Amino acid sequence: MIDDQQMLIQTKVVDGQRTPVVSCTGETLAELVHSAHEVPIDDMLARYPTQANLDRDAVDGILVYCAERQCIEDQATCPGCRRRSQVEGFTTIEDFIVAHDTISIGKHDLQIPGKGEGHAGFKSFEDFYRRWSGEEYWFWARRVLRKLRHGIRRAHVQGEPVAAEGETPSVILVEPQLADNIGMVARAMANFGLDNLRLVAPRDGWPNERARIAASGANYVIDESQCFPSLAEAMGDLHWMCATTARQRDLRKPVLTPEQAVQEMARRIGEGQRCGVLFGREASGLTTPEVAEADALVMIPVNSKFASLNLAQSVLILGYAWILGRNSGSLGRVTTYERPIQPGFQYGKDTPAKKAELEGFLEQLEADLDAANFFRPQERRAITAMAIRTMFQRMNATAHEVRTLRGVVSSLAKYRKRRDSDI
């Protein structure tokens, strides 16, 4: 068990079984995990007195113990957990029945006699069949951890524009054929901070509920989209527009990569101009006359023998180039319980190991290796010890990892002493 959890979880004998117990509440780990799974975390915490000092951080540590099944190392199990059934050797429902004195079923207290000791009760035969082998509490703990750390994702939660009108390029879809594709385009736009969607004569009409469903929460893009009967009207208020194409066109226009197109649009938007990106039909793309209306072409590096992209994929690539060029995105999702992260190693709640902590581990390791007569021949001891030190120093260990390594070395040394004393 790791050091920072020894204050949270202790193992005690409960009903003859070694069981993980929550130190601050006195209940079994299974009871807390079950409670956290059934109700929101804040409602669960409200059930405990303030003197219990049970907060979100404490619950996080307790759930980690269960989710990572650290009970295996402590040789402990929880009542009602599938791991206890496994430890007790219940591989079939018959094993479970035989191991008990009686099993009661339902409100009428129907009895199934066994040949062992103890009693088990279930609400119904269906409940008995489902739960005789126990619940996977570690799976429940993982689910609650996700809710605790990331918040609950709700279908009705919608996004909102991240920029004022005209501060992002408009996405113009010419005669899109499927409402589902429009919805997926809206979702791709929302992913990368593009807010203004313009439709030119969509085949299935507009508005369309199928597009809203496919948008998967990016409803604000759908709701604020504009529909135009012609391309001329859709691009009428734009100062600069580029057109996406997979085919080479015999037009005297600049050909830009997505990165170059984004750079040009960002410059112009900064000067107060409005810009747009033109996307064609799913089946045939843009016609040459439509491409001719643009100020530049946008083409991306692709497999030359298979260059056509899905409509939403095309928008996604331009959107990614846009947010990357503006340096305005976050690495992944940021919610109430998730802070923005930066590229590089993520320590989370841990910290880098101090040199003194790593040195303590290395000295302990070398001492135990000396005791085991590992350094042979002795004249190469310094070289071998330096290689070991270099290996562990290179791993950039955290403080917790160093404590774990010290525990591993101590356990191996104790095992060796017990084994030697038994010989």
Enclosing H/E stretch for 173: strand 170-174
**How large a percentage of the chain has pLDDT more than 90?**
31
Query: Does residue 409 fall inside a structural domain?
Result: yes
Whole-number pLDDT of residue 309: 87
Query: Does residue 337 fall inside a structural domain?
Result: no
> HEC profile for 254-316?
CEECHHHHHHHHHHHHHCCCCEEEEECECCCECCHHHHHCCCEEECCCCCCCCCCCCHHHHHH
Q: Are residues 407 and 297 in the same domain?
A: no
Q: Rounded to whole angstroms, how far apart are CA atoms 179 and 207?
A: 9
Rounded average pLDDT over 340-344: 62
- Look at residues 308, 326, 344 and tell me which one is the last residue of a structural domain: 326
Query: Does residue 280 fall inside a structural domain?
Result: yes
Q: Are residues 143 and 174 in the same domain?
A: no
> HEC profile for 50-75?
HHHCCCHHHHHHHHHHHHCCCHHHHC
Q: Rounded to whole angstroms, how far apart are CA atoms 194 and 328?
A: 12
Whole-number pLDDT of residue 258: 93
347: pLDDT confidence band, cut at 50, 70 and 90?
Answer: low
State yes or no: cis peptide before 377, omega within 30 of 0.
yes
Q: Are residues 252 and 387 in the same domain?
A: no
The answer to whether 291 and 249 have CB atoms below 8 angstroms apart is yes
Distances (CA, A) of 182 to 51, 73, 160, 230, 393: 54, 52, 18, 17, 52
Name the average pLDDT for the chain.
Answer: 84
Phi, psi of 16 (to 5 degrees): 80, 5
125: helix, strand or coil: helix
pLDDT greater at residue 176 or residue 47: 176
Whole-number pLDDT of residue 251: 87
pLDDT 10s digits, 194-250: 989 999 999 988 988 889 888 887 888 998 899 999 999 999 999 999 999 988 888
10 Å Cβ neighbour count for 366?
A: 17
Q: Are residues 190 and 313 in the same domain?
A: yes
Query: Does residue 350 fall inside a structural domain?
Result: no
Query: Does residue 44 fall inside a structural domain?
Result: yes
Whole-number pLDDT of residue 157: 46
Query: Does residue 73 fall inside a structural domain?
Result: yes
Whole-number pLDDT of residue 296: 93
- Decide if pLDDT at 333 tops 60: no
Whole-number pLDDT of residue 154: 41
The answer to whether 17 and 77 have CB atoms below 8 angstroms apart is yes
Q: What is the CA radius of gyration of the chain?
A: 32
* Residue 12 lies in domain: 3-90+133-150
pLDDT 10s digits, 115-160: 777 777 777 777 676 667 778 888 888 878 877 776 644 444 456 6
Whole-number pLDDT of residue 343: 63
Q: Are residues 142 and 175 in the same domain?
A: no
Instruction: Domain count for the chain, please give it.
Output: 3
Query: Does residue 104 fall inside a structural domain?
Result: no
Q: Are residues 12 and 52 in the same domain?
A: yes
Query: Does residue 101 fall inside a structural domain?
Result: no
Q: Are residues 81 and 181 in the same domain?
A: no
The answer to whether 67 and 83 have CB atoms below 8 angstroms apart is no
The answer to whether 32 and 52 have CB atoms below 8 angstroms apart is no
